[in-house]
Structure 1
Amino acid sequence: MSNESSDPRVYLAAERTLLAWLRSGIAVIGLGFLVARFGMFLAMVRGQVMGGHQMASSIIGIAFILLGAVMIALAAWQHRQFVREFQGSFPPTRRWPALSLWVSALVATAGVALAAYLMLSVAGE
Structure 2
Amino acid sequence: MPASPEQNDPRVYLAAERTFLAWIRTGLGLMGIGFAVARFGLFLREIGGGSGHPPVQTTGLSVWSGVALVALGVAVNLYAVFRHVTLTRELASGSWVPGQISKGAVALAVVLAIVGVAMAGYLVFLR
TM-score above 0.5, yes or no: yes
SS of aligned partner of 1:67: helix
C-alpha displacement of 1:49: 6.9
Q: Which runs of 4+ in 1 moved over 4 A?
A: none
Residue of structure 2 aligned with 1:42, choices 23, 41, 44? 44
- What corresponds to 2:89 in structure 1? 84
Query: Which entry has the higher C-alpha Rg, 1 or 2?
Result: 2
Q: Say how many residue pairs are matched.
A: 85
Unmatched 5+ stretches in structure 2: 50-54, 94-127
TM-score, with length taken from structure 1: 0.63
Sequence identity, in percent?
46
Once residues 51 and 60 of structure 1 are traced to their aligned partners in structure 2, the CA distance between those partners, rounded to angstroms, is 13
Render the CA deviation track for 1:5-39: whole Å, top value 9, x for unaligned: 11110011101111111111111100000000000
SS of aligned partner of 2:92: coil
Once residues 25 and 59 of structure 1 are traced to their aligned partners in structure 2, the CA distance between those partners, rounded to angstroms, is 18
- What corresponds to 1:6 in structure 2? 8
- What corresponds to 2:65 in structure 1? 60
Contact preservation (8 Å) 2:24, 2:80: yes
- What corresponds to 1:28 in structure 2? 30
